[in-house]
Amino acid sequence: MYLAGQVPPESPPSDRSRAPGGSRAPGVHSGSSRALLSAVATLAALSLAVAIVGHGHSLDTDAARAASPPPAAARSADGALLYRVVGCRSTGALAHREGPRRMEVAIGFDDGPWTDTPAFVTMLQRNHAIATFFMIGRQLSAAQRPLLLRELRAGDLLGDHTYSHPDLTRIGPAAVRAQLHQAIDAIRADSGYTPCLFRPPYGADDASVSRIARSLGLSTVLWNVDPADYTQPGTGAIEQRVLAQVRPGSIIISHDGGGPRGQTLAAYPGIIRKLRARGYRIVTMLEMFGYRPVYEPCIKLCDGLGLARLQLPRGAIIAPAP
């Protein structure tokens, strides 16, 4: 943070009123000394005031700031306080390969944001489905903010997929921590959302990687259904492979980034329709694992994410306003 330049302190006035040896200098009267001391005191007071202003403060403005009320929380048309999702809380140290054996599945798309990612969000919305987008931090920027907010408005989750997509088992603990932390920071900076889910690139996970992820509030999510869509085997092959491997509690991996993903995009409407025909519900990974979303009161703006308290998911954590 830039600070205004500090006014240097006044140098002590030279004691010219004393002659060598400590006697009073000739020609200086006591009344003049008092006047001189008064002038020096006034100058010192003015210097202090200048120094304070030089630091960007004033007594009047600080008092006014202290008396000013905090920014008002956003409210709905009927006056209800609004809340927006700001993250999630996960628990447990083990990596997830699947969820409980219920008639539900969770979908994760990796390696975005990418040029095809907005089309994936549209596809999910049209099919009334939700997914987790595991994001690479270095591909995020302020230009992606509208996309990330759109995903959150649609009920999708944002997950950590490292900053630059390395094999985490081949780098040291400090580098693993940096990869995860930088991705968290990038996601939070562009969306206001702090992820609690992490997927290691290539599925390269070990006890050390999972432990570091856990220390950052991240739960490691792997998969048990993989259509290898990144090889672009064709829309029909992607659909057939998912449907052949799926079972209750499955976690499906596919990709919205890392290359052309038109085949994957075209396959998923049929996958979603046929999963539902078999009796499966498509759920978020938070719902599958019993994790909890975190909401805060909106301050001024909700970025289109504002919900009244009665609209919040069951079990949501309500954090105080920042």
Q: Does 167 share its domain with 227?
A: yes
Q: Does 147 share its domain with 261?
A: yes
Q: Does 223 share its domain with 109?
A: yes
Task: Tell me how many domains the chain contains.
Answer: 2
**The overall pTM is greater than 0.95:** no
Q: Does 100 share its domain with 155?
A: yes
pLDDT above 70 covers a percentage of the chain that reads 75
Q: Does 59 share its domain with 133?
A: no
- pLDDT tens by residue, 148-201: 999 999 999 999 999 999 999 999 999 999 999 999 999 999 999 999 999 999
Would you call 127 helix, strand, or coil by DSSP? coil
Q: Does 166 share its domain with 42?
A: no
| CB contact at 8 A, 104 and 130 | no
Q: What CATH number does the domain containing 200 carry?
A: 3.20.20.370
Which residue numbers are catalytic? 110, 255
- pLDDT tens by residue, 206-245: 999 999 999 999 999 999 999 999 999 999 999 999 999 9
What was the pLDDT predicted at 144?
95
- Residue 12 above 50 pLDDT? no
Q: Whole-angstrom Cα distance, residue 254 to residue 276?
A: 18
pLDDT above 90 covers a percentage of the chain that reads 71
Q: Does 46 share its domain with 189?
A: no
Q: Whole-angstrom Cα distance, residue 206 to residue 218?
A: 14
What was the pLDDT predicted at 299?
81
- Would 314 be classed as within a structural domain? no
Tokens 């205004």 — which residue?
A: 4
- Would 18 be classed as within a structural domain? no
Provide the domain limits for residue 39.
29-67
Q: Does 47 share its domain with 185?
A: no
Q: Does 167 share its domain with 283?
A: yes
| CB contact at 8 A, 132 and 156 | yes
| CB contact at 8 A, 98 and 106 | no
Q: Whole-angstrom Cα distance, residue 170 to residue 173?
A: 10
